[in-house]
Amino acid sequence: MTCAARVNRSIRYPEILLPIVWDRLETLRYLGESQYEGQKQLVITFAHQNGAQISLYFNAQTALFTKSEILSGHPVLGDAAEELVYDDWRPVGKLTLPFRYISKVGGVILQDLRATSITVDARLDESLFVAPEGLAKVERTPPGRKVVKPGEDVYLAPGDYNSVFVAFNDHILALEAGSDNQSSANVIAQIKETAPGKPIRYLVSTHFHFDHIGGVRSFTAEGTAIVTTPDAKSVIERAAAAAHTIRLDALSRSPRAPVIETLKGKRVFDDGAHLTADNLWRWDEQNRKLIRA
């Protein structure tokens, strides 16, 4: 998860964000005037306590809060602005609050949430905070867990995103790049420690969702060939070409084009000694992704 995403979760609501700004007055700076959707804006910036620089846009005519903006290093899009836009302001008791929240990354709308009603200082029933009976408890993966070997020459690299890799006679095949370049860089380090001297020749990316290809740049920097779906090819190419100046990674320091092999039929990975059902993949046209054959 990017720094901006973590910050935006905590400051999604203006009634939470603006008191934070008030507590950080020494970091406030006036940036001048700007435009947003044809409306003149007055822009100030402040430093969040975790170091993120946040710009705040206020409508010059109405003085209402238009949006917050954070520049961040997105794992796929590269240097990108993450915005929270506020609209449809209405009175709620003694406050005036937005009833519409728009989340954007790189100018693309990810969420458009609209409230039908807002209540301030409402008493919440304690039952709302009780977990349902039988709900499974998911433990967060402890940091620094060691690689697990569930099968012969098959390894699980645990972390925030669990990755699997197979040690062939003279190379490595990895499954899924993970959600960001830091996690994939950690997996690559674990692979090199587990199987020193073997190049990571293949990365299988089953589909183009960002939580599966967010770490593809680290593997590209290794010279790894990416076996993936036709739908994912352009997304991976865009991720590899994106500028990353805010959060430098291995590919930023040594740029190279990705090697991509698209798959519509069956692809067998075999070195004469390793050929199992885990190495067989086929293109699922209905679900538009790779699945085990």
User: How many domains are there within the chain?
Assistant: 2
pLDDT at residue 282, rounded to an integer: 54
Average pLDDT score over residue span 102-109: 89
**Alpha-carbon torsion angle 129, 130, 132, 138, nearest 10:** 80
Poorest-pLDDT segment among 3-7, 63-67, 134-138, 243-247: 3-7
State the chain's mean pLDDT as an integer: 84
User: Strands 172-175 and 163-167: what pairing?
Assistant: antiparallel
- Tell me what percent of the residues of the chain surpass a pLDDT of 90: 36
| Same domain assignment for residues 256 and 183 | yes
Residue at 110 is within a domain: yes
Q: Is the predicted pLDDT of residue 291 greater than 80, yes or no?
A: no
Poorest-pLDDT segment among 117-121, 189-193, 243-247: 243-247
Helices and strands in the chain: count of H runs, count of E runs? 7, 17
Higher local confidence (pLDDT), 143 or 247: 247
Residue at 250 is within a domain: yes
Q: Quick: pLDDT tens for 111-168.
A: 999 999 998 888 888 988 888 888 887 776 565 568 888 888 888 888 777 788 999 9
Residue 14's domain comprises: 3-116
Q: Quick: pLDDT tens for 57-104.
A: 999 999 999 999 988 888 888 888 899 999 999 999 888 999 999 999
Residues forming beta bridges with residue 79, ordered by sequence position = 73
Residue at 182 is within a domain: yes
**Cα 84 to Cα 66: distance, rounded to the nearest angstrom:** 9
| Same domain assignment for residues 174 and 260 | yes
pLDDT at residue 75, rounded to an integer: 83
| Same domain assignment for residues 159 and 286 | yes
CATH number at residue 231: 3.60.15.10
| Same domain assignment for residues 33 and 153 | no
pLDDT level of residue 276 (50, 70, 90 thresholds): very low
Specify the pTM.
Answer: 0.69
pLDDT at residue 278, rounded to an integer: 47
Strand 266-268: give its sheet, edge to edge: 266-268, 280-284, 289-292
| The one-letter amino acid at 173 | L
